[in-house]
Amino acid sequence: MKTIIHPDELRSAVREIRSQKKIIGFVPTMGALHEGHLSLVRNARRETDIVIVSIFVNPTQFGPHEDYRIYPRTLEEDTVLLNREFTDLAFVPRVEDIYPQGYTTTVQPGPAGDTFEGKIRPGHFAGVLSVVVKLFNLVQPDLAVFGQKDAQQLFLIRRMTEDLDFPIRIVESETVREDDGLALSSRNRYLKVEERKKAVVLYRALCAGKRVIESGHRSLSDTQNAMLEAIAKVPEFSPDYATAVSDDTFTEEDPIAPPARLIIAGRLGSVRLIDNMKV
């Protein structure tokens, strides 16, 4: 695997790959890689000739009181994992390479970026979309793979790709879970031992909501109540939202109609966790 830091070197490498008529798959990450990230790399590998993975902790998607400075940075370990997955190229830019002095342009997500995660984390999705656009322009992939766990992010990236006419196919990869159902996340490493045991409440709440829908009751309030009842069993978890949204619009609909998705987020101690489940 080749590691590239500077954007100009990446552009040169991409030109060489393109001259060979090879198909490029791209997996953008913030590092602190786990099995969930590696599943994205494998999915990209199955459909492409060359896999490029970026590792960049993007400061513009963190709020002023969020965990940018302490977000785990494990480049050495990440490199070992990517080599094991036969990644062709790792792009590891510096902040000043992506946001040079005087940089002011951003991509705004529109109304769908102002709800749920966007409401709780103002500016978050503008930061996400802006860096993804820059990475798309640098990597010029044929396809890019994103995880389902960040459902609203995936929705907005897919819409942005269509709206801005990027010739890139967005591939979504299923959430990878621990044996007890907890979705893998780089932030799980922040959880204390007792918090880790209780973090499964997110998955249990999603399952409770899914059972209501599968029983034939598609009432939004009934589904929300079932999720909140499951959450109430772990008072240490403080929910931000627990509801169902349309996969087509990422808005609540009542009654719930397919394709739909249950979404949940909140804090367990100092750690903020999110999850979702297709229904």
Write out the chain's pLDDT in tens, 279 residues.
Answer: 999 999 999 999 999 999 999 999 999 999 999 999 999 999 999 999 999 999 999 999 999 889 899 999 999 999 999 999 999 999 999 999 999 999 999 999 999 999 999 999 999 999 999 999 999 999 999 999 999 999 999 999 999 999 999 999 999 999 999 999 999 999 999 999 999 999 999 999 999 999 999 999 999 999 999 999 999 999 999 999 999 999 999 999 999 999 999 999 999 999 999 999 999
**CA distance to 28, 68, 227, per residue, from 63 (Å):** 20, 8, 28
Clarify whether residues 112 and 213 are in a common domain.
Answer: no
Given 173, 203, 225, the domain boundary residue is 173
Clarify whether residues 144 and 206 are in a common domain.
Answer: no
H or E element at residue 155: helix 151-163
Given 173, 208, 234, the domain boundary residue is 173
Clarify whether residues 240 and 208 are in a common domain.
Answer: yes
Residue ranges of alpha helices (H) inside 192-273 are: 193-198, 201-214, 220-232
Domain annotation covers residue 179: no
Domain annotation covers residue 138: yes
34 is catalytic: no
Exactly one of 37, 65, 124, 217 is catalytic; name it: 37
Domain annotation covers residue 180: no
Q: What is the dihedral of CA 59, 63, 64, 65, to 10 degrees?
A: -120
Residue 24 token pair: 């490029």
Clarify whether residues 94 and 232 are in a common domain.
Answer: no
Helix 124-139 to helix 7-19 angle (10° resolution) is 50
What does the alpha-carbon distance between residue 66 and residue 63 come to, in Å, rounded to a whole number? 5
Clarify whether residues 144 and 225 are in a common domain.
Answer: no
What is the phi/psi pair of residue 71, to 5°? -55, 135
What does the alpha-carbon distance between residue 175 and residue 276 come to, in Å, rounded to a whole number? 9
Clarify whether residues 209 and 169 are in a common domain.
Answer: no
Nearest CA-CA partner of 73 in 101, 52, 51, 92: 92
Give ∠ CA 133-159-209 in degrees, rounded to 5.
120
β-sheet bridge partners, residue 177: 183
Domain that includes residue 235, residue range:
186-278
Region at 150 (left for phi over 0; alpha for psi -120 to 50; beta for the rest) = beta
Given 123, 140, 173, the domain boundary residue is 173
Nearest CA-CA partner of 242 in 196, 199, 201: 201
What does the alpha-carbon distance between residue 228 and residue 152 come to, in Å, rounded to a whole number? 21
